[in-house]
Amino acid sequence: MTNSNKKWKIEGKEFDSRLMIGSALYPSPEIMKNSINASGSQIVTVALRRQSAGEQGGNPFWEIIKELGVTVLPNTAGCHTSKEAITTAMMAREVFQTDWIKLEVIGNQYNLQPDPFALVEATKVLIGEGFRVLPYMTDDLVLAQRLADIGCTTLMPWGSPIGSGRGLMNPYNLKVIRKQFPNLNLIVDAGIGKPSDAIEAMELGFDGVLLNSAVALAQEPVMMGEAFKYAVYAGRLSYEAGAMQKRDMASPSTPTVGTPFWHQFA
Amino acid sequence: MKISVNGEIKEFNSERLMLNELLEEMKFGKGVAVALNETFVLRTSYAKTDINDGDRLDILSPVQGG
């Protein structure tokens, strides 16, 4: 049995790829476009920032994203209070014409750690306003419970701080969240540095990974996008296939029956 | 009157200005979202939103994000 044709459903939509990718930090718009294509990702994060007056020539970045035909996931990056995040989410909904929001409320500037209290507050308001909130959160079990209680069906705990490339700092916490919330979509968001980190997240049973710097800052972003495509796929297959149990003792894989006499043990 | 637009102080001669007129005058294209004094304003409300001296406007458009 293979899952190669299985669709993944998140927030009411179906996708082939479980990789979500960011659109920032690429060396050029062309490399961004090619990297996203190579990654196979169908969900791309975007943001909003102040526009200069008189920019009548359209928005080249936005035109490229539209041409890709992907589902956009706007973020509230840079918001430090629930009020800022709520306002940004409302603005994003109007510009991007989507109810999806990657909700970020930063609580500490050093490691860009999400503020769990403001996150819950903003989530509650936005769900009430009809948003589908995908909260960027710490790997805290109680916070996960609070967010699930108020209606989140997707949770996005960090692997490690944004842009750090440190991989999964605390696989135990992620594993516990997975175990406690078997029916929610769980995405490792932030901290993924290498395809092997993505495989680890997927082998923990996470439903997907969201990353940006790992591809955009690679020496060859397009090639790395492709590497992540296979990593996420392999990690998911591995999880579904069920890995063997680790053993302390060696156990021969070649049959021992019929071993030539010089290898026989008494 | 003086209005802060994306953090810059702009001076307008008009006594009374609606949000849609200001956006047009400043040549902001479509595809932006607006917050007035940090509160989101629906696009459908631009023509009935008064802009007053000292107001702060944030006019945002799509950019790259992670």
- Here the ipTM equals 0.94
User: Which residue did the predictor score with more confidence, A1 or B38?
Assistant: B38
In angstroms, the CA A158 to CA B11 distance is 45
CA–CA separation, A104 and A205 (whole Å): 23
- Residue A198 pLDDT greater than 60, yes or no: yes
**Chain A residue with the nearest C-alpha to that of B6:** A50
- At A233-262, the pLDDT tens digits run 999 999 999 999 999 999 889 888 888 876
- β-partners of residue B65 are none
A150-180 pLDDT, tens digit each: 999 999 999 999 999 999 999 999 999 999 9
Residue ranges per domain, chain B? 2-60
pLDDT computed for residue A67 by the predictor: 96
* A window 3-22, beta carbon within 8 A of B: 22
Query: Which residues of chain B does A54 touch, with a Cβ-Cβ cutoff of 8 Å?
Result: 26-28
What is the pLDDT confidence band of residue B29, given thresholds at 50, 70 and 90?
A: confident
Q: pTM of the full predicted structure?
A: 0.92
Token pair listed for A66: 């539209």
Read off the amino acid at residue A57: G
Q: From chain B, pick out residues whose CB is under 8 angstroms from the CB of A192.
A: none
**What's the rounded Cα separation, in Å, for the pair A6 and A157?**
24
Q: What whole-number percentage of chain A has pLDDT above 90?
A: 88
Average pLDDT over residues A32-54: 93
> What's the CA gap between B63 and A78, in Å, rounded?
13
Give the gyration radius of chain A's Cα atoms: 21
CATH 3.40.50.300 fits B2-60, yes or no: no
Q: In 10 A of CB A4, how many CB atoms?
A: 7
CA atoms within 13 A on the CB side of A166: 11
Name the amino acid, one letter, at A143. Answer: L
pLDDT digits (tens, 9 = 90+) for A110-144: 999 999 999 999 999 999 999 999 999 999 999 99
Chain A residues lying within 8 Å of B7, measured CB to CB: 50
Q: Which of A33, A39, A81, A95 to mutate to test the interface with B (most CBs of B within 10 A)?
A: A95
Distance separating alpha carbons of residues A69 and A83, to the nearest angstrom: 31
Decide if B30 touches A, using CB distance below 8 A.
no
* Residue owning tokens 């690429």: A26
Question: How are beta strands B8-11 and B17-18 bridged, if at all?
Answer: unpaired
